[in-house]
Amino acid sequence: MAIIMDGKALSNQIIENIKDKVSNLDTKPGLAVILVGEAPASAVYVKNKEKQALNAGFHSFIHKLPENTTKEELLSLIEKLNNDNDIDGILLQLPLPKRLSAYDFLDKIDPKKDVDGFHPINSGKLITGETPYALACTPKGIIRILDEYKIPISGKNAVIIGRSNIVGKPLSMLLLNRNATVTIAHSKTKNLPDITKNADILISATGKENMVTKDMVKNGAAVIDVGIIRDNSGKLRGDVDFDNVKEIAGHITPVPGGIGPMTIASLMENTLELYNLHKAKL
Ligand code: NAD
């Protein structure tokens, strides 16, 4: 039976630690979150981020813009926040309404305020092995929980299902930088179970319920479930068939209570790191 990796407890511990550090500061780190439109899932995520930012002792600034916000209006808000000394981190909640392309905005956020690590300068630094100003939050949280549970990474086979810019691609670089042998699978991958059965570390980030079943998992593997799916009864589920996979995995993250809270903890860590960077420059 697998060890359940408790992302909620670890996240609370990380945020408590940040709170202690912040209580000794003269000023407070400032996190600005921009939400465009009314997508219910995004509204829940933003509320959660605000709650934890306040809990950590930060200033939290939520900018809720209407669904019909123009490109110029959003660019103007980003520029204002870039120039605001009270703001250390800027997060543009994705996805944006279909009319707007994230690519038109993510590279306009000051890379030193890019708390999500999505600016091309930060993703470029990750690829070349330099230290980005901030690391993408979900991949950072995944590495943190693997380390917490002392899962060896170097020389291990890591398989990631999902190739998004926010999870699969940056995570592949982090695992590669830690000397894993990394395979990225996606919707066009053939014979997926043959690939996943080789994984010492299996990460699923597809948003498809029951994407990972017991027959796809190697005995003793660490299984990380990034997926967030709301089922018909309104319950949150992940990609992994948790009840059956936990019978053979060595470690497994639950949904909820796994990678979701780790992502928020990473966001808080990034905000404090960017605050320290800005203070060091003053
Ligand atoms: P996305 O929706 O941009 O992409 C999904 C990926 O899954 C694609 O690369 C696609 O190729 C792959 N995929 C889809 N069907 C597949 C199949 N049948 N076989 C193999 N691969 C398949 O992904 P995203 O934005 O990275 O989000 C993925 C999931 O993770 C969603 O459920 C999202 O809500 C969740 N998520 C959770 C957190 C968190 O904090 N826990 C953070 C980010 C995303």
**Nearest by Cα to 176 from 139, 148, 204, 222:** 139
Radius of gyration, CA atoms only, the chain? 19
Instruction: Please give the model's pTM, rounded to 2 decimal places.
Output: 0.97
Q: How confident is the model at residue 13 (pLDDT cuts 50, 70, 90)?
A: very high
Q: How confident is the model at residue 281 (pLDDT cuts 50, 70, 90)?
A: confident
Through-space distance between the first and last CA atoms of the chain, rounded to whole angstroms? 52
- Please name the residues in contact with 76: beta carbons below 8 A apart, sequence gap of 6 or more: none
Q: What is the pLDDT of residue 231?
A: 87
Q: Ligand 1 centre from 36 Cα, in Å?
A: 21
Q: What is the pLDDT of residue 234?
A: 87
- Please name the residues in contact with 276: beta carbons below 8 A apart, sequence gap of 6 or more: none
Q: Ligand 1 centre from 248 Cα, in Å?
A: 24
Q: Using the 8-state DSSP alphabet, how is residue 132 labeled?
A: P
Distance CA 81, CA 193 (A): 46
If one residue of 187, 203, 230 were mutated to test the ligand 1 pocket, choosing by the most ligand atoms within 8 A of its CB, it would be 187
Distance CA 164, CA 233 (A): 27
**CB under 6 Å to ligand 1: residues?**
138, 161-164, 166-168, 185-187, 189, 192, 205-208, 226-229, 259-260, 263
Other Cβ atoms closer than 10 A to 1: 9
